[in-house]
Amino acid sequence: MLTVYRTVKAKYRNEPLSTEGARLFGSRWNPKSFPLLYTTSSPALALVELLVHQPRVRYEKLPNLSLVTLAVPDSVIIYSPEQLPDYWNVESYERTQWILRDWLTQPATLAAAVPSVVVPMSYNYLIHPAHPDFSRIQIIKAEPFPIERRLGQDEDRPAENT
């Protein structure tokens, strides 16, 4: 079994395996109407992936989160950056949503490991709900995942140069 992590906003904590958001809105690796469960290789990467989509948000406006730890059957295809087209990490998702077209339409494996755009030496694990092994995913733990105050934008504190 592979251990992966997922942040879930408090209001969805009772649905840790929901793929509805990805189905409704699409994301980097899937267009709308193709549900996926986005997970990461570590809790730290899960937090970074969440925060990168909420830039300049005041700390008080950051969501309350749960960290869900999952055990996933070892049915994974791994894509290194070298195996992906040069545009895999562009800001616009229009081109990247179909890079995994074959896997999206006929998932031969439960999961696809893709490099994180934010931390390219780490991997995100895309889990396909249409694969028969999806029902074998085990929720190991779900716990509050507090965000350190310094990670939020503070209007009263000037940005630090390092």
Show Cβ contacts of residue 152 under 8 Å, excluding neighbours closer than 6 positions.
57, 58, 59, 60, 61, 62
Lowest mean pLDDT segment, chosen from 9-23, 30-44, 56-70, 105-119: 56-70
Q: Of how many residues is the chain composed?
A: 162
Mean pLDDT of the chain: 90
Q: Which residue segment(s) compose the domain that 102 sits in? A: 2-149
Residue scoring higher pLDDT (149 or 92): 92
Dihedrals phi, psi of 56, to nearest 5 degrees: 55, 35
Q: How confident is the model at residue 155, as a pLDDT?
A: 55
pLDDT tens string 146-160: 877 777 666 554 545
- 155 inside domain: no
Nearest one of 135, 115, 117 to 125, comparing CA atoms: 115
For β-strands 2-9 and 123-127, DSSP reports them as: unpaired
Residue scoring higher pLDDT (38 or 161): 38
- 113 inside domain: yes
- 154 inside domain: no
Residue 162 in this model has a pLDDT that exceeds 50 = no
Lowest mean pLDDT segment, chosen from 43-47, 83-87, 118-122, 156-160: 156-160
Helix-then-strand count for the chain, H and E? 3, 7
- 47 inside domain: yes
Residue scoring higher pLDDT (54 or 73): 73
Token output for 82: 């070298």
- 158 inside domain: no
- 89 inside domain: yes
- 72 inside domain: yes
How many domains is the chain partitioned into structurally? Answer: 1
- Per DSSP, the three-state class of 61 is helix
- 162 inside domain: no
Nearest one of 75, 23, 59, 15 to 150, comparing CA atoms: 59
